[in-house]
Amino acid sequence: MKPAKGEQLTIALTKGRILSETLPLLAEAGVSPLESVEESRKLIFPTTMEGVSLVILRGSDVPTYVRHGAADVGVVGKDLLMESGDEGLYEVLDLEIARCRLMTAGTGQARTGHAAKIRVATKFVNVARAHYSSRGIQPNIIKLYGAMELAPIMDLADEIVDIVDTGNTLKANGMRPLEHIADISSRLIVNKASMRTRNHIIASLVERLGTAVASRRDA
């Protein structure tokens, strides 16, 4: 895998769990940053592969950069991908890392009726609207940017839509998971135009990452 002379390839990543679990996979594909991404305040990092660089973004910005072609390739949670939609990009590989579930949660019993006009706090407004609509419910969606678990306690909302991993955060705040919306893991996404113009290097990257993912699965 090598870009053609002068060719650039930009890969968008997010700090935290996605970064720490993606870097070893990228290393197996021959791409490693030339300095520690975790310890630096820089946002752009050249790599061991000439022409290939990493950029560090907020997770919710990764689909935006890839959609507009500012980054060719990105790694993003399926939750944020569902929320942003897949216009202008391809979801090419499940990296099988940073697994969790996207769920509704609340303090009381699961709803049984369809009539209730409930208030739902979430940062996943599109996903939440689609989920409740599929249940015949038109919720009042309240957009939040974090600490969703606080909203029912403070009587801002009846339920939340959020990612659940261990369930400890819900439990610690007197809440429990209600409805499963989707299983989440990190996905490799590719700008549609880049897929055509840089097909050779991107196909090679996807193949190598796919091999690295499969070898972990089998380990």
Considering the complex, what minimum distance in angstroms separates the CB of residue 165 from ligand PRP? 3
Strand order through the sheet with 44-46: 44-46, 52-57, 9-14, 73-77, 186-191, 89-94
Q: Which residues pair with 13 in a beta bridge?
A: 56
Name the residue nearer to ligand PRP (CB basis): 47 or 122: 122
Strands 119-122 and 140-143, sheet pairing: parallel
H-run or E-run covering 151: helix 150-153
Among residues 30, 69, 88, 167, the one that binds ligand PRP under rule CB under 6 A:
167
How many residues touch ligand PRP under the rule CB under 6 A: the total is 9
The interface with ligand PRP within residues 181-210 (CB under 6 A) comprises: none
Secondary structure class of 203 (helix, strand, coil): helix
Residue 90's alpha-carbon distances to 7, 46, 67, 73, 189, in angstroms, are 21, 24, 9, 9, 5
Give me the 124-163 binding string for ligand PRP, x by CB under 6 A, dash otherwise. ----------------------x---------------xx
Closest CA to 178 of 107, 110, 102, 101: 110
Name the residue nearer to ligand PRP (CB basis): 118 or 144: 144
Name the residue nearer to ligand PRP (CB basis): 67 or 123: 123
Considering the complex, what minimum distance in angstroms separates the CB of residue 167 from ligand PRP? 5
Verify binding: residue 177, ligand PRP, rule CB under 6 A: no
Rounded Cα distance between 81 and 33, Å, is 25
Considering the complex, what minimum distance in angstroms separates the CB of residue 148 from ligand PRP? 6
Name the residue nearer to ligand PRP (CB basis): 70 or 142: 142
**Interacting residue ranges for ligand PRP, rule: CB under 6 A:** 146, 162-169
